[in-house]
């Protein structure tokens, strides 16, 4: 897809991967709608992009506030008169053992990562279908393909995204709407600090798995040609996670043995 003059709605645009996406789409000539909860951080991203109000709008929203998302979608659709690309990127991870985790925390992970993204897609898709064009990009995860310790609710939410967007993709071929699932391994962002612990409070620190990883700009740079080519699944991870993805398909038993001994924080 050529993004020049297209309208891109990005969730989780205040930080990390979403912020990096905003820079790449903007450089390609797109108009942006930046969403997440923290208005001041979205304004910072807008200012760093040059602050052009005719090309960048800020639309704060909370993906956990399911009742507000239809209205937010209508607002997004009117800002530039339509949406060409929805980037479902906003999300939160987890650092807690399942047996210790409050059910409310599991539900919150599903609400933000799964239901939030699904709701925005549900409200925006009919407009893309009318135009017979569009692209839905979803930041899933390697955790959408296999699970590890401390990530039960997170991996469940990402597996659920994989499942629903596989179905949506099939339904959208006849409308010329592409579904692009991005499956990163660890990327150096605030994801670990913001991860939910058992009682729903933030983990608050960065683990070495992420502090030693590539940063979000490098990640988006590496996948940019695949994003523009509307590739259906994009993997961006270290050789270790890539091997894990292959083993999950050909020898899940062996993968489980290796994961049992692996550092996952
Ligand atoms: N970093 C990694 O290693 C990695 C690997 C695989 C997949 N991912 C996925 O990449 C996506 C982006 O994460 P990141 O790594 O860039 O982490 P990040 O820096 O923590 O960014 C998360 C973004 O999501 C937004 N967000 C969180 N809760 C929200 C809510 N309730 N409503 C609306 N927005 C919310 C945050 O903004 P506000 O706080 O302003 O709301 C922020 O913009 C996530 O879906 C994550 O699962 C990350």
42-98 pLDDT, tens digit each: 999 999 999 999 999 999 999 999 999 999 999 999 999 999 999 999 999 999 999
* Ligand 1 centroid from CA 218, angstroms: 17
Q: In the predicted model, what is the mean pLDDT of the chain?
A: 97
- Residue written as tokens 């933000």? 112
* Ligand 1 centroid from CA 221, angstroms: 18
pLDDT score for 265: 81
Closest CA to 140 of 165, 108, 120: 165
* Ligand 1 centroid from CA 250, angstroms: 31
The C-alpha atoms of residue 236 and residue 78 are separated, in whole angstroms, by: 34
pLDDT score for 207: 83
Q: Which atom of ligand 1 is the closest one to the Cα of 61? A: 33
Active site residue 235: no
- Which CATH superfamily hosts domain 7-239? NAD(P)-binding Rossmann-like Domain (3.40.50.720)
**CB of residue 234 inside a 6 A radius of ligand 1:** no
**CB of residue 43 inside a 6 A radius of ligand 1:** no
Contact between residue 231 and residue 137 where contact means Cβ atoms under 8 Å apart: no
> Is residue 264 scored above 90 in pLDDT?
no
Structural domain boundaries in the chain: 7-239
């Amino acid at each position: 897809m050529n993004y020049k003059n297209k309208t891109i709605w990005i969730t989780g645009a205040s930080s990390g991967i979403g912020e990096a996406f905003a820079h790449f789409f903007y450089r390609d000539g797109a108009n942006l709608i930046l969403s997440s909860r923290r208005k001041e951080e979205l304004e910072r991203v807008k200012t760093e992009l040059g602050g052009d109000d005719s090309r960048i709008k800020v639309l704060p929203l909370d993906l956990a506030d399911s009742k507000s998302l239809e209205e937010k979608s209508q607002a997004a659709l009117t800002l530039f008169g339509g949406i060409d690309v929805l980037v479902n990127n906003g999300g939160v991870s987890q650092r807690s053992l399942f047996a210790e985790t409050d059910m409310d925390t599991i539900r919150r992970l599903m609400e933000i990562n799964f239901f939030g993204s699904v709701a925005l897609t549900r409200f925006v898709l009919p407009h893309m279908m009318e135009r017979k064009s569009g692209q839905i990009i979803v930041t899933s995860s390697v955790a959408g393909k296999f699970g590890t310790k401390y990530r039960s609710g997170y991996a469940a939410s990402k597996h659920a995204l994989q499942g629903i967007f596989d179905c949506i993709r099939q339904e959208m071929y006849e409308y010329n709407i592409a579904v692009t699932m991005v499956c990163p391994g660890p990327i150096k962002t605030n994801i670990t600090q913001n991860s939910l612990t058992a009682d729903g409070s933030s983990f608050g620190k960065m683990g070495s798995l992420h502090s030693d990883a590539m940063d979000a700009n490098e990640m988006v740079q590496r996948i940019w040609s695949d994003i523009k080519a509307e590739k259906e699944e994009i993997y961006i991870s270290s050789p270790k996670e890539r091997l894990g993805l292959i083993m999950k398909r050909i020898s899940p038993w062996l993968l489980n043995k290796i994961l049992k001994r692996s550092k996952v924080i």
